[in-house]
Chains A and B, each alone.
Chain A
Amino acid sequence: MKKHLLGLSFLLMMGMMLAACSGDSNQASGEGDGEWSPEKPVEIVAPAGAGGGWDTTARSVGKVLEEEGIMEQNIGVVNKEGGGGAVGWSYINSQNNPHNIFVSSPPLIFVPLNGQSDLSHKDFTPLANMIADYGAFAVAEDAKWENLSELFDDMKDDPSSVTVVGTSSPGSMDHMQFVSIAKKAGVDIKKIRYVSAQDGGGMTQILNGSADVYSTGIAETVEQVKAGKVRVLGITAEERIEGDVLSTFPTAKEQGIDATFVNWRGFFGPGDMTEGQVAYYEEKLKEVSDSDAFAEIRKNYGWNEMYMNSEEYAKFLDEQKEELSGLMEELGLVSN
């Protein structure tokens, strides 16, 4: 314990020296709206197992924070898997410590609406959004549809003539992104046949004809499109994405369907946080977002930059919830 204190005071001294230009920072524990900086290692919780989207985001941001020297404290990534995120969220909530932050994405909206978590985005403090990913709807190369309008025309006649496959279960990402676009196109969303397939099953199923449309992330389709095995009918972004193959993917919007769907990913802290704490993380995450190292990571994973500060993020989340809960209510997926 003594050693610990010693190390801490050493760090504090270092901090004070460094902070000479940026003002007084030895106001260690957050009092009111004073400035704040972490006094022990920061823990980034990925509310999922190793290897998933949350985990890779947490680890890559953690790495940039540490290697670029943006945060002076050590950063550890902890996996709290379970309940589609619910286990990790309740962990953060029970710790209620500004040194524990977590990564999340649209499931933070779906899962509480599904009734699978008592905690919702309102119970946490949005710190900053980092990246955006968009959905793509892919079909096999020999499919009869050339674009979304043709697909949705068929589905308007008989929604159950088309089988849609995705990785997540109904009421989550892959399902909802398809439903929200199809709804705008005028399809009866209650009659859509949706199948969930894990372990690479989605791509497999459209390649062998077990399913017709694969609702997934854009990055998952690129290589197959390059090889001429599948065709992307439309993506859920506002406008086309840059990149040699990516730029050939038409958006739903340009095909006359006025709908978008963003798979955002960002950082949250526990419910009780002071302004100083929020400002601290906002600034650090902004630095990460602007760094070349993170730009490289975004490029490799096919993510898009989408920085939002805490305030913008909170507003954005409320809008998201509004929009999604309407859809989910119509499908009878909202449980109280």
Chain B
Amino acid sequence: MLKTLNQKLSLFLILFASGYLYLTYNLKEYPYVPVDSDFVPKVLGYVLIVLAVFLYFDKSSETKEEKEKRTIPKKEILVLLAVGAMIFLYIFLLELLGFVLSSMLFVFGCSLFLGYRNHKVNVIVSVIFPLVMYLSFNYLLQIKLPQGILPF
């Protein structure tokens, strides 16, 4: 039944729209306006379902180029996931370690992981870039980035 990609996408969108619609039917009512806060969301939810149905029956095949985009070797998927995980870890550590340290770790680690082999430049950039950013934000622009465990 779900032969084409479009059909899979369509089914997913219908599920998403249904979830959204379920929420719109549970919005708090506000009795003093002719059109309440649920009106537009409801319209959007139903429109999405209709569009998803169209997509289901959309016979237009993909161009070669588009298909090619999707063929990613397994190894690359792992690389992408790893970078995603690094960003996640970065966000997690940002307010604990502070901007400077976590950015240094991220820039150095991520560049190394992606195959940057000029270690000298890597160290220099990963030290200087976060420091310059931090100092110019904190002192020049008076925008406080997380200080973390560093004393400044």
Contact = CB atoms under 8 A, between A and B. Distances in A.
Contact of B28 (A191, A192, A335): A335
B142 interface: yes
Nearest to B30: A170
A184 interface: no
Contact of A332 (B31, B142, B144, B151): B31
Contacts of B30: 170, 332
A155 to B, nearest CB: 14
Given A1-B151, A3-B151, A4-B151, A76 B142 contact: yes
Interface of A: 1, 3-4, 43, 76-78, 170, 190-194, 331-332, 335
A191 B32 contact: yes
Given A190-B32, A331-B32, 18 more contacts: A1-B151, A3-B151, A4-B151, A43-B144, A76-B142, A76-B144, A77-B142, A78-B144, A170-B30, A170-B32, A190-B31, A191-B32, A192-B32, A193-B32, A194-B32, A332-B30, A332-B31, A335-B28
Interface residues of B, number: 7
Contacts of B32: 170, 190-194, 331
Contacts of B28: 335
20 contacts: A1-B151, A3-B151, A4-B151, A43-B144, A76-B142, A76-B144, A77-B142, A78-B144, A170-B30, A170-B32, A190-B31, A190-B32, A191-B32, A192-B32, A193-B32, A194-B32, A331-B32, A332-B30, A332-B31, A335-B28
Contacts of B142: 76-77
Nearest to A76: B144
Interface string B112-146: 00000000000000000000000000000010100
